[in-house]
Amino acid sequence: MINILSSILILAGVFFYLAGSIGLLRLPDLYSRLHALTKADNLGLGLLMAGLALHSQDLFTMLKLLLIWLAVLAASATSAHLIARQARRQETGS
């Protein structure tokens, strides 16, 4: 039972990763690519982590996985914003 659930979660995570990278390739503009990127970061990693957490042996590993996801969430959200703002700055000429 746990195997089936974790398999679904992991596959869903990988799906969002692929969707995010296809979006990164196909979308026309840096700002729209940003949206694709954050889907991969949040959903992809989150679902993947949830699926793997079901397999973890102890609470410490599960907490570490959660910490990784939170760190990636906060860091990638801020990084994506900073990158887009820097690109905007370079566009409007400075």
Residues at the site binding other proteins, with contacts judged by CB under 8 A: 3, 7, 10-11, 13-15, 17-18, 20-22, 24-25, 30, 33-34, 37, 40-41, 44-45, 48-49, 52, 55, 61, 64-65, 67-68, 71-72, 74-76, 78-87, 90
Closest approach of Cβ 51 to other proteins, in Å? 9
- Supply the minimum distance, in Å, between the C-beta of residue 11 and other proteins: 7
First to last CA, the chain: 57
Checking 23-30 for CB contacts under 8 A at 24+ apart, the result is 30/84, 30/87
- Count of Cβ atoms closer than 10 Å to residue 48 Cβ: 20
